[in-house]
Amino acid sequence: MKQFAYLKGDRVIWTIVFLLSLLSILVVYSSVVTLANKYKQGNAETYLIKHSITIIGGIFIMYFIHKLRYTIFSRVGQIGIFLVVPLLLFTLLKGVSAGEASRWVEIPGLGLTFQSSDVAKIILLIFVARTITVKQGQLNDLKSVLKYIILPVGLICALILPANFSTAALLFVCCLFTMFVGGIHIKIIMKILGMCIIASFAFLLIVWYAPEAIPGGRGPTWKARLENFRTGDSKSNYQSEQAKIAIATGGVIGKGPGNSTQRAFLPQASSDFIYAIIIEEYGLFTGFVMLFLYMILLFRGIRILRDSEKTFGGLMAVALSFSLVFQALINMAVAVNLFPVTGQPLPLVSMGGTSIWFTCIAIGIILSVSRANELKEVITE
Amino acid sequence: MENKKDILSRTYLVYIFLCVFALAILYKICIIQFKEGDEWKAKAEAFNTKVFEIEAVRGNIFDVNMNLLATSLPYYEVAVDINAPSIDKKLFDGKIDSLGFMLSELFKDKTSKQYNKILRKARKSGDRYVVLKRNVSYKDLLVLKTFPIFKRGKRGGLVTLQTNKRELPFQMLAARTIGMSRPGIKPVGLEGAFDTTLMGVSGQRLMQKIAGDVWRPINDENEVEPKDGSDLITTIDINIQDVAENALEKTLIKNNASHGCAILMEVKTGAIKAIANLTRNGKDSSSYSYSENLNYAVLNATEPGSTFKLASLMAVIDEYNVSLDEKVPVGNGEVTYYNKTIKDAHAPAEPVLTLQRVFETSSNVGVAKTIMKYFSKDPQKYVDKINSFHLNQKLGLSIPGEASPLIKNTKGPDWSGVTLAQMSYGYETLLTPLQILAFYNAVANDGRMVKPRFEKEIIKNGKSVKTFTTEVLVEQIAKKETIKKAKIMMEGVVLNGSGKGLNITAFKVGGKTGTAQIAKAGKKGYGVAGDRNYQASFVGYFPADKPLYTCIVVIYNPSKGAYYGGLIAGPVFKEIAEKVYSSSLDFMEPINNKQNLLTKAPASIKSKNDEMLIASNALQLPVKSNATEGNYVSRNTIDSTSVALVSNNLESQLKKGIVPNLNGLSAKDALFLLENSGFHVKLYGMGSVRKQSIEAGQKFNRGDKITLILS
């Protein structure tokens, strides 16, 4: 494979990245840019160029990361966990002072903003993978698991939660997954899960009966979303309804690129509901292919785990790929109204500057592990 | 890695779980597409969107002096999105009462309680688009935007949809000629003729169907902004139009006529300065109110009657060089051709009249006999001559609907033995008032026939886009000699013929009366007296010596006994002519040469030297000045080449304590000079100084009083 001469690591993952990026440019173009192009002359190409540059930049980042030795990330996880806490705290407090839920942090001087939870996600997963690997012998009872893993995980998720409930929940599930895959005893995980269920039930009660009590001011929004999902109220459940119309009218082969009409009604056509727009324009078939691509991505992640000699690398790779794919499935589930509206973007496909780059970093790390595996294969041969 | 197998199997377990998840998503898609598909597609229909055309602001129509004849005023449909995300509970509860109150105060169509109820109900049901009022003026919209909640701008929930309404500031004046353009109706007048120019380019707005046939805009702004239309400057002068319309209405009422029209046209350019068309409202002849409903001037081709005699006699004169003194035997005013007896309205004074008298007294018999004498052998020659006057063709007006004239042809199936005689005095022929006017205008214009036009210029944003020029239809309709004779005949009509009394003290008028009998609808032929309708007209030009304007007045179906053109249409003509004279600079003697220019210069002017130079330059007066800057000067001598200015030592005289000659000084300059020298000045009148209470050359002291009389 000549064209992959410079790219190390799993070629299938690279291929999936390219395919999804291409699709992303096409769909973002039609969901945002074509509308702009059709009705507002002028800023159409700016969107397209900006998004394309973001994606190309992301691929460069991915390339750079995958060239690194993956063992470096062990250190990143170890130190990063101490940096993430103040970062999240800063974001949260800034948000509180501004009177609204804040997710974004600006990098001074560059004018770039990023969601601190994006950073936290990667670092926390690396941290969990690392802890499981390092403390392999000690994690045999609930107490030590709580102490070494659940405490930091819980802290970080709690810091993310006020501004972005779904991200916090998703991240927590990913950590649980990593623990499960990492060999933590089922009984311990079940106990933790039990605690979680009790905690989340309590949380739901608060949301339901006293949404204003939640710091960050997102309580009422969550309540509304829950309510909408529960009642299926056609008037207020506007977004889901529009998404369903998009899916229904798309049919098996779709309306064709740029022909979406629902993008005008879906407020988040280029991120949260992009999957619905994809089905509207490119049909059920493409929707299926995308699902398939994400499942292959996870499968390749598992392959990397299988091929890894060291637990850390494999665990990290599978944890990151799980988090990406799981997020993708959640996004799609929202788009098809299997889940309540959460606001999770579709990794690699949804528009969004730095968010795409963090996804690329995650994939870069996965590829870096894969590259190391390949090197060993070469040596053992 | 001793537990790798365990790790892998756990991973696969999760993988299988995720595969199930993925399948569930796929399943849900299939459910939405196939099972619920029709339901959602139906909803998609309900959520229909459409790109609506946003009408551009239509260009204005101006009269020749830039008075607005037609303009578009924006009106708004005002709706509220009371459930806009930015209107929270606190804002709503706090302000809803005062908003309801103010809406009620502004629109006065509902009580504040009713508004309150509407808004609260909409808030409760989650309604995102409640129409508050339609046809809200721009002024009221500005007030609306200051109301509580609304004043938060884009987030205040106020949604407006603009429509433009066409308004004619002068209402009825020239309304039919200004016309209208509406989808579904035939274009009318200038609005119709210049529709695309005035219309501009429509914009687009994406709208969503919310219920039944109610649409709401999706975005705050138009997707494509409309481009406004260009403006049209017409040749119409609204002041003259006003007089024409009033004079015409007065006459219509006086004679209880069914309808009428009056047109004033500029001889050289063909520019229509006024065009009035009035129709009696309602079919009932007892109605005395009139309005502009039909453009008779353009689309009403009728038998012209006597006004056509000019064409007939010009045909004879041009073809056979007949003298105006040619004797025409008219006998007792009756002549019969085949079965048709032609009669004169008044029995002729003498059995033999000159051609001039025939025309002046409008003798039907005289004209018919003359035409029969010369053309009965070859009627086609006569027809060809008439056609050479451009009377058989449309004028090709810009405004739509011009009626075709009818000039019969000898080869035509409707040509009979009496046609030539009938045609000669204006029957078996159809012409519109404007076509007749254009012909008379050609005579007034020494034979050069120009096309009547209403349009002067198209402007866009104040800049000229297109200027309309005069179009010549026929370079010379008849020999110069013929034209000269025609004018003599027409002046005779007013001087001592059927149009007597129409002369205006200031100038002479040339013209022709017309009294046509029109068959009443449903009756065959012209019938007996009771079944006759009349059409009284007068067409002429003024001033006769140097024609500047032509004018036609036609009154249809007068029903108060009088029906002669000179008596009924004449006064309208006269009133218009008088108005034109009193308001037009065209009647002033032309100022052509330098000699004139200098003698016309102000007789006595005194001013500062530099100001004088500026003024002289602006007037392009050649100036010789020996004065230095800042000095007061007065004009000294007039020679043929320049104005010479001499320094006037007003200031130095004042300094010496001597009162100078202030004659001709402007009030401002006099005040400045005298007050500076210590005078208390009293001024009477306006203009420049004519008299001064202290004579020139007298000594004065500071604090003295001086009175100046200005004029």
In this prediction, residues A58-75 reach a mean pLDDT of 90
B211 in A contact zone (CB under 8 Å): no
- What's the pTM? 0.56
Closest CA to A308 of A232, A370, A252: A370
Position A171 in a domain: yes
In this prediction, residues A180-205 reach a mean pLDDT of 87
| Rounded Cα distance, B260 and B554, in Å | 5
**Low-confidence winner among A238-247, A285-294, B303-312, B579-588 (lowest mean pLDDT):** B579-588
User: Cα B81 from chain centroid?
Assistant: 43
Residues in chain B: 711
- The whole-angstrom distance between B4's CA and the closest CA on chain A is 8
State whether A295 and B19 contact (CB < 8 Å): yes
Tell me which chain B residues have a C-beta less than 8 angstroms from the C-beta of A326.
18
Residue of chain A nearest B41, judged by CA positions: A249
| Rounded Cα distance, A158 and A168, in Å | 7
DSSP state of B584: -
Question: Quick check: A15 and A338 in contact, CB under 8 A?
Answer: no
B126 in A contact zone (CB under 8 Å): yes
Residue B630 has a CB neighbour count (10 Å cut-off) of 10
Tell me which chain A residues have a C-beta less than 8 angstroms from the C-beta of B8.
302, 305-306
pLDDT for the residue numbered A362: 94
For the cut 50, the answer to whether the pLDDT of residue B638 exceeds it is: no
How many separate domains does chain A show? 1
Tell me which chain B residues have a C-beta less than 8 angstroms from the C-beta of A329.
18, 21-22, 25
Question: Quick check: B178 and B96 in contact, CB under 8 A?
Answer: no
Residue with tokens 């002096």: B65
State whether A39 and B33 contact (CB < 8 Å): no
- Selecting from 3.40.50.300, 3.40.1180.10, 3.90.1310.10, 3.40.800.10, what CATH number does the domain B51-234 have? 3.90.1310.10
Kindly report the backbone phi and psi dihedral angles of residue B85, in degrees, each rounded to the nearest multiple of 5, phi listed first: -55, -30
At residue B375, the 3 state secondary structure works out as helix
Burial class (CB in 10 A: 0-12, 13-18, 19+), B599: exposed
- Residues forming a β-bridge with B513: B538
- Residues forming a β-bridge with B472: B450
pLDDT in tens, B39-55: 888 777 666 667 777 77
Mean pLDDT score of chain B: 83
- The whole-angstrom distance between A136's CA and the closest CA on chain B is 11
For the cut 50, the answer to whether the pLDDT of residue A169 exceeds it is: yes
Check the CA dihedral B182-B184-B189-B192 and report its sign.
positive
ipTM above 0.95, yes or no: no
Residue B95 tokens read as: 């302000």
What is each CA distance from B670 to B603, B626, B678, B698, in whole angstroms?
18, 22, 12, 17
Position A1 in a domain: no
Residue of chain A nearest B221, judged by CA positions: A40
Tell me which chain B residues have a C-beta less than 8 angstroms from the C-beta of A336.
25, 28-29, 32
More confident residue, B496 or B656: B496
- The whole-angstrom distance between A87's CA and the closest CA on chain B is 30
Question: Quick check: B475 and B442 in contact, CB under 8 A?
Answer: no
What single letter denotes the amino acid at residue B516?
A: A
pLDDT over 90 percentage in chain B: 34
pLDDT in tens, B294-338: 899 999 999 999 999 999 999 999 999 999 999 999 988 888 888
Q: In what order do the strands lie in the sheet with B606-608?
A: B606-608, B632-638, B643-648, B623-625
Check the CA dihedral A172-A175-A181-A186 and report its sign.
negative
pLDDT in tens, B437-483: 999 999 999 999 999 999 999 998 888 889 999 999 999 999 999 99
pLDDT for the residue numbered A374: 83
Q: Among B8, B28, B88, which would you mutate to test the A interface (most chain A Cβ atoms within 10 Å of its Cβ)? A: B28
* Band (A135; pLDDT cuts 50, 70, 90): confident
**Low-confidence winner among A188-192, A203-207, B444-448, B625-629 (lowest mean pLDDT):** B625-629
Residue of chain B nearest A276, judged by CA positions: B29
Q: Pick A39's closest partner by Cβ from B12, B30, B204.
A: B204
| Rounded Cα distance, B318 and B482, in Å | 5
Residue B324 tokens read as: 């105006």
| Rounded Cα distance, B316 and B355, in Å | 11
pLDDT for the residue numbered A140: 80
Could you give the dihedral angle defined by the CA atoms of residues B357, B362, B365 and B369, in that order, rounded to the nearest 10 degrees?
Answer: 60
3-class DSSP string for B103-115: HHHHHCCCCHHHH
Q: Are strands B623-625 and B158-167 parallel, antiparallel or unpaired?
A: unpaired
Position A2 in a domain: no
For the cut 60, the answer to whether the pLDDT of residue B639 exceeds it is: no
Consecutive H or E run containing B89: helix B89-107
What single letter denotes the amino acid at residue B503?
A: N
Position A215 in a domain: yes
DSSP state of B263: E
Consecutive H or E run containing B572: helix B565-583
| Rounded Cα distance, A313 and A301, in Å | 11
Residue of chain A nearest B38, judged by CA positions: A248
Q: Pick B28's closest partner by Cβ from A180, A318, A336.
A: A336
- Selecting from 3.40.190.10, 1.25.40.10, 3.90.1150.10, 3.40.710.10, what CATH number does the domain B241-586 have? 3.40.710.10
Put simply, the chain B residues between 181 and 210 with a CB less than 8 A from any chain A CB are 204, 206, 208
Residue of chain B nearest A294, judged by CA positions: B22
Best-predicted range by mean pLDDT among A274-283, B384-393, B460-469?
A: B384-393
Contacts of B91 (CB under 8 A, 6+ apart): B149
For the cut 50, the answer to whether the pLDDT of residue B592 exceeds it is: no
State whether B24 and A332 contact (CB < 8 Å): no
- The whole-angstrom distance between A294's CA and the closest CA on chain B is 9
Question: Quick check: A341 and A166 in contact, CB under 8 A?
Answer: no
| Rounded Cα distance, A160 and A155, in Å | 9
More confident residue, A332 or B181: A332
Position A48 in a domain: yes
* Beta-carbon-side half-sphere exposure of residue A111 (alpha carbons within 13 Å): 0
For the cut 80, the answer to whether the pLDDT of residue B675 exceeds it is: no
Give buried/exposed letters for B127-141 (b at 16+ CB in 10 A, else e).
Answer: bbbbebbeebeeebb
Position A313 in a domain: yes
In this prediction, residues B208-230 reach a mean pLDDT of 70
Q: Among B20, B27, B38, B40, which would you mutate to test the A interface (most chain A Cβ atoms within 10 Å of its Cβ)? A: B40
State whether A336 and B29 contact (CB < 8 Å): yes
| Rounded Cα distance, B216 and B153, in Å | 18
B22 in A contact zone (CB under 8 Å): yes
Consecutive H or E run containing B37: helix B37-46
State whether A332 and B25 contact (CB < 8 Å): yes
| Rounded Cα distance, A264 and B319, in Å | 78
Tell me which chain B residues have a C-beta less than 8 angstroms from the C-beta of A284.
29-30, 33
3-class DSSP string for chain A: CHHHCCCCCCHHHHHHHHHHHHHHHHHHHHHHHHHHHHHCCCCHHHHHHHHHHHHHHHHHHHHHHHCCCCHHHHHHHHHHHHHHHHHHHHHHHHHHHHCCCCCEEEECCCCEEEEHHHHHHHHHHHHHHHHHHHCHHHCCCHHHHHHHHHHHHHHHHHHHCCCCHHHHHHHHHHHHHHHHHCCCCHHHHHHHHHHHHHHHHHHHHHHHHCHHHCCCCCHHHHHHHHHHHHHCCCCCCHHHHHHHHHHHHHCCCCCCCCCCCHHHCCCCCCCCCHHHHHHHHHHHHHHHHHHHHHHHHHHHHHHHHHHCCCHHHHHHHHHHHHHHHHHHHHHHHHHCCCCCCCCCCCCCCCCCHHHHHHHHHHHHHHHHHHHHHHHHHHHHC
Q: Pick B14's closest partner by Cβ from A177, A294, A315.
A: A177
Q: Among B16, B21, B216, B220, which would you mutate to test the A interface (most chain A Cβ atoms within 10 Å of its Cβ)? A: B21
State whether B40 and A288 contact (CB < 8 Å): no
The CATH architecture one would assign to domain B607-710 is 2-Layer Sandwich (3.30)
State whether A248 and B12 contact (CB < 8 Å): no
State whether A247 and B33 contact (CB < 8 Å): yes
Closest CA to B451 of B385, B386, B398, B387: B398
State whether B40 and A322 contact (CB < 8 Å): no
More confident residue, B642 or B709: B709
